[in-house]
Amino acid sequence: MQKRTLYYTTLICMLALAAGCKKFVESGNVNINPNRPSTVTLNTLLPAVEYYTSSNHFQVAYTTSLFSQQMASYQGGPLTDDQNRDVRMGVAYTGLYQNALTNGKLLIDQAKALGSPFYTAIGRILLVMNLSLATDTYGDVPFSEAFQAPVVLYPHYDKQEILYPLMQKYLDSAILESQQANPATLKPASDDLIYAGDMNAWRQTANFLKARLSMHLTKKGAVAAANAALASLSAGAYPDNSKDCQLVYNDKNLNPWYSNIAVKLTTGNYYIAPSKRFVDALNGTAYPGLVDPRLPFLMDKKTNAAYTGLQNGAGNTGNTTDLSSNTYFAKSNSPVLMATYAEQKLLEAEARFLANGGTATSVGSTQAAYSAYIAGIVANMQKLGVPAASIAADTSHPQVAVGSSKLTLELILREKQIALYLHPEAWVDVRRYDYNPALFRGMALPLGQDPAMGGQFIRRSGFPLDEVNRNPNVKDAIQALNAKVWWDQ
How far apart, in whole angstroms, are the C-alpha atoms of residue 396 and residue 383?
A: 19
Half-sphere exposure of 395 (CA within 13 A, CB side): 20
Listing DSSP states for 335-404 in one string gives EEEEE-HHHHHHHHHHHHHHHTT--SS-----HHHHHHHHHHHHHHHHHHT--HHHHHHHHTSTTT---G
Phi/psi of residue 160, each to 5°? Answer: -60, -35
CB 209 within 8 A of CB 127: no
pTM of the model: 0.93
Name the residue among 380, 461, 453 with its Cα closest to residue 93: 461
Buried b (16+ CB within 10 A) or exposed e, 106-141: bbbebbeeeebbbbbbbbbbbbbbbbbbbbbbbbbb
How far apart, in whole angstroms, are the C-alpha atoms of residue 439 and residue 419?
A: 16
Helix axes 199-215, 341-355, angle to 10 degrees: 40
CB 418 within 8 A of CB 380: yes
How far apart, in whole angstroms, are the C-alpha atoms of residue 56 and residue 44?
A: 19
Name the residue among 360, 432, 55, 461 with its Cα closest to residue 213: 432
Name the maximum alpha-carbon separation found in the chain. Answer: 63
Number of Cβ within 10 Å of residue 153's Cβ equals: 15
**How does pLDDT run along the chain (489 residues), one tens digit per residue?**
334 444 433 443 443 343 333 332 333 344 444 444 445 899 999 999 999 999 999 999 999 999 999 999 998 889 999 999 999 999 999 999 999 999 999 999 999 999 999 999 999 999 999 999 999 999 999 999 999 988 999 999 999 999 999 999 999 999 999 999 999 999 999 999 999 999 999 999 999 999 999 999 999 999 999 999 999 999 999 999 999 999 999 999 999 999 999 999 999 999 999 999 999 999 999 999 999 999 999 999 988 889 999 999 999 988 999 999 999 999 999 999 999 999 999 999 999 999 999 999 999 999 999 999 999 999 999 999 999 999 999 999 999 999 999 999 999 999 999 999 999 999 999 999 999 999 999 999 999 999 999 999 999 999 999 999 999 999 999 999 999 999 999
CB 2 within 8 A of CB 198: yes
Rg of the chain over CA atoms, in angstroms? 22
How far apart, in whole angstroms, are the C-alpha atoms of residue 209 and residue 207?
A: 5
- At 171, the amino acid letter reads L
Q: List, in order, residues 6 or more apart from 196 with CB less than 8 Å away.
A: 2, 4, 188, 189, 190
Helix, strand, coil content of the chain in percent (nearest 5) = 50, 5, 40
Confidence (pLDDT) at 18: 38
Count helices and strands (H / E) in the chain.
Answer: 19, 8
Phi-psi region of 458 (alpha: psi -120 to 50; beta: other; left: phi over 0): beta
How far apart, in whole angstroms, are the C-alpha atoms of residue 272 and residue 315?
A: 9
CB 426 within 8 A of CB 64: yes
How far apart, in whole angstroms, are the C-alpha atoms of residue 400 and residue 394?
A: 7
How far apart, in whole angstroms, are the C-alpha atoms of residue 270 and residue 322?
A: 9
Buried b (16+ CB within 10 A) or exposed e, 290-317: bbbbbbebbbbbeeeeebbbbbbbbbee
Task: Walk me through the domains of the chain, giving residue ranges and CATH numbers.
Answer: 8-219+457-488 (1.25.40.390)
Number of Cβ within 10 Å of residue 395's Cβ equals: 15
How far apart, in whole angstroms, are the C-alpha atoms of residue 388 and residue 386?
A: 6
Confidence (pLDDT) at 51: 98
How far apart, in whole angstroms, are the C-alpha atoms of residue 269 and residue 415?
A: 31
CB 178 within 8 A of CB 205: no
CB 458 within 8 A of CB 87: yes
The DSSP letter of residue 446 is P
Confidence (pLDDT) at 39: 58
Name the residue among 310, 419, 336 with its Cα closest to residue 82: 310
Half-sphere exposure of 186 (CA within 13 A, CB side): 21
* Alpha helices (H) in 83-198, listed in sequence order: 90-94, 102-114, 117-138, 160-177
Name the residue among 255, 257, 329 with its Cα closest to residue 297: 329
The DSSP letter of residue 285 is S
User: What three-state secondary structure class fits 327?
Assistant: coil
How far apart, in whole angstroms, are the C-alpha atoms of residue 358 and residue 354?
A: 5
User: What three-state secondary structure class fits 71?
Assistant: strand
